Amino acid sequence: MPRTLWRRLALAAVAGVGVAVWVFPVLWGLLTSFKTERDVLAYPPVWLFKPTLDNYREVIFGASSIVPNLWSSFVLATATTLLTMLIAVPAAYALGRLRFPAKRMSGFYVLVTQMLPPVGLIIPYYLVLQKLGALDTYGGLTVIYLTFALPFAIWLMVTYFEDIPLEMEEAALLDRAGRLRTLWYVILPQVRGGIAVTTIFVFLNAWNEFMFAVVLGGNRVRPVTVAMFNFISVEQTQWAKVAAGAMLAMLPVIIIGLFAQRHIVKGLTVGAVKGGGRR
Amino acid sequence: MSSRDTKGPAKPARRRVMQQGVALSAAGMLGTPFAPSAWAQGDDLAPYRAAKINWRQVEGQEITVAVIPASYFDNLIALQPQFEALTGIKLRFEKVPPGQIRQKAVLDLSSKTATYATHAADPMYYPLYATNKWVEPLDKYLNDATLTDAAWFNNNDIIKAWRDAASWNGQPYGVPYDGEVTVQVYRKDLYAAKGLKPAETLDQLAANAKALNDPANRMYGLALRGFAGAGQNMYIYPSIYRGYGGTWGSGSNLVVNSPQAVAALTWYVDTLTAYAPPAVRNWNWPDIADAFSQGTIGTYVDAHSSAAVINNPEKSKVVGKIAYARWPKGPSGKRVTSIWTWSFPINAALSDRAKKATWLFIAWAASAETQARTSWKFAGPAKRSGINRVSLWKSPEFAAAMKDAGDNFIPAALESLEQDTDVDWRPRVPQWPAVGDTMATAIQAALVGQKKPKEALDEAQVRIAQIMKG
């Protein structure tokens, strides 16, 4: 009995250290967001201080409120995620299951698009969007986001489809279910976890994107990542406001994360539990 | 109709008053958060109507202006309803972080998208802009009596050093809106305690730093920008280099590794290594001003406008203990300060009508009246210190607004602007963006001790020779 207790304590300690490394920056940001600019710079750093809500008031209601930018981020990330999943799920299924000419090559091609450093694509994208009149529009930026979200989602989903025993599908086909029926009723429920994981990662990537948004966006489409940057001016960095903005920007992501946690864990372990498919 | 506008501040016709009323209420309905304060502090358009031009000649035109997030542009944005009421031109401001505004402007100009009618331009980019004819030469706007009332606008009143910085081959391409000049900023209480005087030479600057340096008690003698960047360490180093008697060579034959350059960089590296906080190698000026405001630095040499940060009572512990002096002389006896200006060019890809609208915006923003309204007349807390006109710098109102900045603030800055500037303190070539980055990298390599100053500069010379050829 004591032995297992020790074991548990040791495990908790190790886990605690691991979690602390992750939590510290977030906690620090959270504390900073309640400090005055003066307390932010205090040395040695203060842990006890008179908290203020001024930073939040400023980033929510102030002249440079980030609320419209949170909305921008939400629209962009949601549109990107919906379109990506709509295309990626059937595409991944096709790549994972169907036989068609040039299958290997098309799979490889999807991957190739990920091999270019994104920074090299900014100028071509700018010129293309300019020609289409799509600079600083939701449509334009969503299409650009698809270019990195789709390949990522397809390749992630392929692994989930490949993990499903072929027999399940064959059984359904034998029962005279069509391809689409099989996909909908038999296959998709099996990869629910995978879909959840992929959806969240795609959403997160779009939500956190900065580089394309800052160049290809503008006054109309300005996600929160870009808006927050404006608290870092040439005159001074308003750390407390950056922190308050960051906390607000994290909030939706954390909520979605908590909501989908069950699926994520399931998604990550599904292969292991079921003994895997062909791998 | 137009004769009314060219005869100065005649009594406004009834229709015009109504138009303005509409513009006014429209601005109110659009919910510009600044609108009430902007109007409260003097919505009188008469000072502008004194100009013998027709402000409403391109009424209805829309233009987009890119600026950086900074209080001096926020103050201008706050006055947007006044400009719209005056001209009938619809303004759209877009705030772009300083790191991206150059990139976005170059993309916009080179692809002739005409997204930004004008933008807050880096003066070092004018050689590039002008060589490619991406922006308009401005003499034709300045000399066109329908667009500029020369007596009213008084272009020569704008600080010459900044005008020169926004010109190329003698032709103006941008009109300075705001600017900076680099000065010594020091703790007068610490100087007095040790019997020090503000440095007249670089040697004295190092000696003062040595006298104050006490790292064990978190007190460092000196800080200068160390962060790698064309506008960071390559903003301070050129002044030292010029003080050592260095020049950049002529035409495309850029020289960056002369014996003076090696001596200047060695001084920079040695002084910072000995008397600056170790992290200074990665500090840009906000970091320096933050550290100074926490009382951990004795002297720094940087933009006069940093006074706003170190005098911010919410942040600073050294309010009332600050004084200013000019850049110290180098061993050659030369005093070359670094300057900065955000100026407005006109995008050459615009339609003629939009170009006129843009010019009217520029003339409005750079006018003495708007400069005063964004400085001491501004209702908000931030009073601009980078106003663009000599007459305003010398005005009692400006002196009153800056009285709490610290000792000798206006004289130090104004003397520096009038006597210590040299438009070629940095190499003004179309290839500047690449040249500046190369130099910045070399300086930082020397600062962190990766390379010896000579080695770093020799390598930079090779690279820059290639850049200039290609």
* Structure confidence by residue, pLDDT tens digits, A1-16: 567 889 999 999 999 9
* CATH number for the domain harbouring residue A196: 1.10.3720.10
Beta carbons of B69 and A231 less than 8 Å apart: yes
Average the pLDDT over B98-122 and give the result: 93
Chain B residues close to A49, C-beta within 8 Å: none
Could you give the percent of chain B with pLDDT greater than 90?
Answer: 83
Residues B239 and B337 sit within 8 Å (Cβ to Cβ)? yes
Range of the domain at A163: 66-278
Beta carbons of B96 and A233 less than 8 Å apart: no
Is it the case that residue B3 has pLDDT exceeding 50? Answer: no
Question: Is residue A181 situated within a structural domain?
Answer: yes
Nearest to A127 among B68, B69, B111 (CB): B111
DSSP letter at B347? B
Q: How do residues B70-109 score in pLDDT, each as one tens digit?
A: 889 999 999 999 999 999 999 999 999 888 899 899 999 9
Chain B residues close to A231, C-beta within 8 Å: 69
Is it the case that residue A276 has pLDDT exceeding 80? Answer: no
- The mean pLDDT value of chain B amounts to 90
Q: Which pLDDT value is given to residue B4?
A: 36
Question: Is residue A47 situated within a structural domain?
Answer: no
Q: Which pLDDT value is given to residue B252?
A: 81
Closest CA to B381 of B396, B401, B403: B401
Beta carbons of A233 and B68 less than 8 Å apart: yes
Q: Which of A144-158, B272-286, B355-369 has the highest mean pLDDT?
A: B355-369
Neighbours of A67 (CB within 10 A): 13
Rounded to two decimals, the ipTM of the complex is: 0.74
Q: Which pLDDT value is given to residue B418?
A: 94
Contact A208/B at CB under 8 A:
no
Question: Is residue A44 situated within a structural domain?
Answer: no
Copy the structure tokens of residue A10. Answer: 């040791």
Name the residue in chain B with its Cα closest to that of A218. Answer: B94
Please tell me the distance in Å from B261's CA to the nearest CA on chain A: 28
Centroid of chain to Cα B66: 15
Average the pLDDT over A96-115 and give the result: 82
Is it the case that residue B33 has pLDDT exceeding 80? Answer: no
Q: Which pLDDT value is given to residue A176?
A: 84
Neighbours of B221 (CB within 10 A): 25
Chain A residues close to B385, C-beta within 8 Å: none
Contact A36/B at CB under 8 A:
yes
Beta carbons of B113 and A237 less than 8 Å apart: no
Chain B residues close to A234, C-beta within 8 Å: 68-70, 98, 286
More confident call, A1 vs A157: A157
Residues B162 and B61 sit within 8 Å (Cβ to Cβ)? no
Q: How do residues A218-243 score in pLDDT, each as one tens digit?
A: 889 999 999 988 888 777 788 899 99
Chain A residues close to B71, C-beta within 8 Å: 233, 235
Average the pLDDT over B389-401 and give the result: 96
Beta carbons of A135 and B95 less than 8 Å apart: no
Beta carbons of A229 and B97 less than 8 Å apart: yes
Copy the structure tokens of residue A107. Answer: 């799979």
Chain A residues close to B308, C-beta within 8 Å: 235
Beta carbons of A219 and B94 less than 8 Å apart: yes
Question: Is residue A40 situated within a structural domain?
Answer: no
Beta carbons of B218 and A236 less than 8 Å apart: no
Average the pLDDT over B13-18 and give the result: 41
Beta carbons of A229 and B68 less than 8 Å apart: no
Contact A232/B at CB under 8 A:
yes
Q: How do residues A169-190 score in pLDDT, each as one tens digit?
A: 888 888 888 888 888 888 888 8
Q: How do residues B156-199 score in pLDDT, each as one tens digit?
A: 999 999 999 999 999 999 999 999 999 999 999 999 999 999 99
Rg (CA), chain A: 23
Contact A38/B at CB under 8 A:
yes
Residue-level length of chain A: 279
Contact A174/B at CB under 8 A:
no
CA pair distance B314, A178, nearest whole angstrom? 70
Q: Which of residues 111-130 of B touch A (CB under 8 A)?
A: 111, 113, 115
Q: What is the reported pTM?
A: 0.84
pLDDT tier at B42 (50, 70, 90 boundaries)? low
Residues A201 and A150 sit within 8 Å (Cβ to Cβ)? no
Match 């599908």 to its residue by tokens: A169
Contact B247/A at CB under 8 A:
no
pLDDT tier at B1 (50, 70, 90 boundaries)? very low
Contact A236/B at CB under 8 A:
yes
Beta carbons of A230 and B74 less than 8 Å apart: no
End-to-end CA distance of chain A: 39
Average the pLDDT over A204-212 and give the result: 93
Q: Which pLDDT value is given to residue A270?
A: 53
Beta carbons of B111 and A126 less than 8 Å apart: yes
Contact B249/A at CB under 8 A:
no
Contact B95/A at CB under 8 A:
yes
Name the residue in chain A with its Cα closest to that of B71. Answer: A235
Copy the structure tokens of residue A185. Answer: 């009723």
Residues A129 and A135 sit within 8 Å (Cβ to Cβ)? yes
Residue B252, CB-side half-sphere exposure with 13 Å CA sphere? 8
Chain B residues close to A41, C-beta within 8 Å: 290, 293-294, 315
Number of structural domains chain A divides into: 1
Closest CA to B177 of B375, B313, B310: B375
Contact B293/A at CB under 8 A:
yes
Q: Which pLDDT value is given to residue A62?
A: 86
Q: Which pLDDT value is given to residue A97?
A: 83
Is it the case that residue A69 has pLDDT exceeding 90? Answer: yes
Question: Is residue A229 situated within a structural domain?
Answer: yes
Chain A residues close to B33, C-beta within 8 Å: 63
Sheet with B62-67, strands from edge to edge, namely: B90-95, B62-67, B118-119
Question: Is residue A130 situated within a structural domain?
Answer: yes
Interface size, chain A vs chain B, as Cβ–Cβ contacts under 8 Å: 71
Question: Is residue A5 situated within a structural domain?
Answer: no
Contact B96/A at CB under 8 A:
yes
Name the residue in chain A with its Cα closest to that of B114. Answer: A130
Contact A57/B at CB under 8 A:
no
Q: Which pLDDT value is given to residue B125?
A: 96
Question: Is residue A51 situated within a structural domain?
Answer: no
Residue B74, CB-side half-sphere exposure with 13 Å CA sphere? 21
